Structure 1
Amino acid sequence: MLHTVEWKVRLYLSEDGGTTKARVVVNTGTTTLTGHGAAHCNPADADVPEIGDELAAGRAMHDLAQQLVNTAERDIEGLDTPATGRSPRPVAGWPM
């Protein structure tokens, strides 16, 4: 069965005084989740805004990804499926 959906993702970045903050929001159509991340420039380092953007955005996306995995795991646990006598399910997710 083919299943295709589109999720809207927005990434917001702001920088103030050597600190870059990121907020990433995903709307799945039924749920909206928000991830947050930050990066701080060491005063001894050169101020390269792109690096702060990359770090803060990556951290916000990592936070969002963990929230999505946690949500999926809760959904799996909430399924009312009859016992099959099989061993417990492995941790949710795609093999890496």
Structure 2
Amino acid sequence: MTRTLEWKVGLFLSEEDGTTKARAVLDTGTTTLTGHGTAHCSPQDVDIPEIGDELAAGRAMHSLARQLMKSADRELDAMGAGPVGPSAPGPGTPYVTP
């Protein structure tokens, strides 16, 4: 079976007083997840806004990725395909089922 989906991600950035905040919003059409990230410019550092943008955005996207992996882990567990025992892979590790 072939499937094609489009999931949209919006990334919103704001900066105030040396702190950059990012919000990443994923819209799958049926679910919306939001990740957040921040970056702070140290007083002794040169203020380069692009670096704060990249750090905050990366952290927001990482937050979003963790949420997606947790959601997939929960759904796999509900189907009985989740980890079993102490040697089971941690969250975010791909599952291989026979």
Give the TM interval when normalised to the shorter protein: 0.7 to 0.9
Task: Using structure 1 for the length normalisation, give the TM-score.
Answer: 0.84
Q: Displacement, 1:80?
A: 5.6
5+ residue gaps, structure 2, are none
Runs of 5+ in structure 1 lacking a partner?
82-86
Q: Give the percent of matched residue pairs that are identical in Structure 1 and Structure 2.
A: 60
Letter in 2 for 1:8: K
- Please state whether the residue corresponding to 2:25 is helix, strand or coil: strand
Runs of 4+ in 1 over 3 A off after TM superposition: none
Map Cα deviations across residues 35-81 of structure 1 (whole Å, 9 max, x no partner): 00000000000000000000000000000000000000001111267
Give the TM-score, by structure 2 length. Answer: 0.82
- Looking at structure 2, the residues matched to 93 and 28 of structure 1 have their Cα atoms a distance apart, in angstroms, of 21
Aligned length: 89
The corresponding residue for 1:35 is: 35
For the aligned residue pairs, the C-alpha RMSD in angstroms reads 2.1
Residue 66 of structure 2: SS of its match in structure 1? helix
Deviation of the 1:93 alpha carbon: 2.3
Q: Name the counterpart of 1:93.
A: 94
